[in-house]
Structure 1
């Protein structure tokens, strides 16, 4: 979770963008940007962003595997022959 201490107004960020971006890239800590005192955006460095995206993709992949395993356990499966026959009939190929 982002540290609320590391929050700045959008106006202040606009005035000192280069300094803030350098700081984000050095610390790898997210920065919260506020408008009228409410958080409206979160800024992260590219490395942290890519790591987060990779972790999210991995979590989605694991969830899909678990869903497939659950379907197998519940008997909600079909043979490849059935699937291909349905596709052939549906798309007439």
Structure 2
């Protein structure tokens, strides 16, 4: 992972972003020698967001199963037809 000072980001933002978009490698921004932020490209951010949403959905599903909030497949199909209509 690439590490950049916040002052470098201020001076070389265009170059750092161009490199980020080419390599798709996160950049750790440090301030006063401490981690301050991560800079990631848009595509990587969107992929992470989709993965997080999927994992959250799976967790909700597992929770529903544990709580007994389930329906038979036939009923689920009928509900989905109405929902998607």
Q: Same fold (TM over 0.5)?
A: yes
TM-score by length of structure 2 reads 0.79
Q: Secondary structure at the residue paired with 1:41?
A: strand
Out of 8, 13, 17, which is 2:9 matched to?
13
Find the counterpart in structure 1 of residue 40 from structure 2: 44
Find the counterpart in structure 2 of residue 29 from structure 1: 25
Cα distance in 1 for residues equivalent to 2:6 and 2:21 = 18
Cα distance in 2 for residues equivalent to 1:70 and 1:22 = 47
Question: Which consecutive unaligned segments of at least 5 residues does structure 1 have?
Answer: 78-93
Out of 46, 59, 71, which is 1:63 matched to?
59
TM-score by length of structure 1 reads 0.72
Q: Which structure has the bigger radius of gyration?
A: 1
Q: Secondary structure at the residue paired with 1:16?
A: helix
What's the Cα RMSD here? 0.8
Q: Secondary structure at the residue paired with 1:42?
A: strand
Cα distance in 2 for residues equivalent to 1:19 and 1:30 = 14
Q: State the number of aligned residues.
A: 69
Find the counterpart in structure 1 of residue 74 from structure 2: none
